[in-house]
Amino acid sequence: MNKEKYIVLGSAFGAAIGSAVGVLTDNIALCISLGVSFGVLIGIILKKESEKK
């Protein structure tokens, strides 16, 4: 998988999970931004792990 795809997939899943949590907690803006941030972080970690192999 391309290196950029990990970051894109992480941010997409983070936005999806963040929007779901945001609807439940009635704070959509905060939860989407946190979800994208954590998703990008996970994408970067996965990218680094795949480079090691």
Number of structural domains the chain divides into: 1
Number of Cβ within a 10 Å radius of residue 18: 23
pLDDT computed for residue 1 by the predictor: 66
Domain span at residue 27?
3-47
**Residue 14: both structure tokens together:** 């983070």
The answer to the question of residue 53 being in a domain is no
pLDDT in tens, the chain (53 residues): 677 899 999 999 999 999 999 999 999 999 999 999 999 999 999 899 888 87
CA dist 41 → 6, 25, 30, 44 (Å): 10, 23, 17, 5
Query: Residue 52 domain-assigned?
Result: no
